[in-house]
Amino acid sequence: MTYIVLKIDVDTLRGTCEGVPNLIKMLRNAGATFLFSLGKDHTGWALRRIFRPGFLRKVSRTSVLKHYGLKTLAYGVLLPGPDIGACAAEQMRATRNAGFEVGIHTWDHVYWQDNVRTREREWTIAQMAQSQARFIEIFGNAACTHGAAGWQMNNYAFHQLDAWGIRYASDGRGYGPYRPTINGFPLTHVQLPTTLPTLDEVLRLDGLNVDNVADYLLSLTRYSSIDHVFTLHAELEGQKLAPVLERLLAGWRAQGHALVSMADYYSTLHLDSLPLHPIVWGKVPGRSGELIIQPN
């Protein structure tokens, strides 16, 4: 049996309120882990990137406006950023009540993504403490897992996962489960890196579009005897790209893969034989900037 872990990053208020309920319907009979953005929606801050080279080209390819909506893009710029955890706590609880695993994505997505790599311990712990406090407020218990916004972390953040007693998280990209090391010392938690490209990444590749992108992704898992972690976005697969996800789910089932949550997958691992890897930064095709990767 090979597994495909469905890890769902929820970045925005709209994604939480509209994308998540759609995904819950589509994921009947599948396991999945929803990772929530628990504080302010400052998606609009990303508008500043319009003035960076290459962004307009990217917008025209993936149509950020079509997927995120004008209102979401204005949060933090023209409109005050709404507090997602305060506005959508009910929907978050409904996700867990529907049988899905829930965890922490971030407190403030854009702020974390743009800053965490270079920030000091106090800033990092304060950001993470806000997410955890809000998570406990909403769910009544601490989060069992974490998946970093934009696959951006720092050493303090990795240590904090251990301090929280987290046993498994998915904060970077790679090819299989491993135990991260810092200065040569292994951390206690296991990283389950995202192994497959995301839809927005492959849609930037030449020749791929919404009509053939599912076939392309299915070709990556067709003869694969290894397990995979696929990261979805509530704002994409939960909304305009839902038809692509339907085809992926049917295709993966036809290929014989089991669709599972991070918790389910972690429980299948032989923890003693996991490799150790240092924290490394690198690039991924179709995505700008560096992120946490698993070294070869």
Site residues for Zn ion per CB under 5 A: 9, 11, 149
Q: CB 275 → Zn ion: shortest distance, Å?
A: 26
Give whichever of 14 and 257 is closer to Zn ion, judged by the CB atom.
14
Q: How far is CA 45 from CA 4, 42, 109, 118, 263, in A?
A: 33, 6, 10, 19, 33
Give whichever of 149 and 199 is closer to Zn ion, judged by the CB atom.
149
Give whichever of 144 and 232 is closer to Zn ion, judged by the CB atom.
232
Q: CB 206 → Zn ion: shortest distance, Å?
A: 25
Please answer whether residues 34 and 232 qualify as being in contact, where contact means their C-beta atoms are separated by less than 8 angstroms: no
Q: CB 32 → Zn ion: shortest distance, Å?
A: 15
Q: CB 152 → Zn ion: shortest distance, Å?
A: 10
- How far, in Å, CA of 48 to CA of 74, rounded? 11
Q: Are strands 291-293 and 179-182 parallel, antiparallel or unpaired?
A: unpaired
Q: CB 271 → Zn ion: shortest distance, Å?
A: 27
Question: In the bound complex, which residue of the shown chain has the CB atom lying closest to Zn ion?
Answer: 9
- How far, in Å, CA of 146 to CA of 166, rounded? 8
Give the residue among 255, 264, 245 at the shortest CA–CA distance from 27: 245
Give whichever of 121 and 283 is closer to Zn ion, judged by the CB atom.
283
Give whichever of 230 and 257 is closer to Zn ion, judged by the CB atom.
230
**Packing angle of the helix pair 155-163, 121-139 (nearest 10 deg):** 40
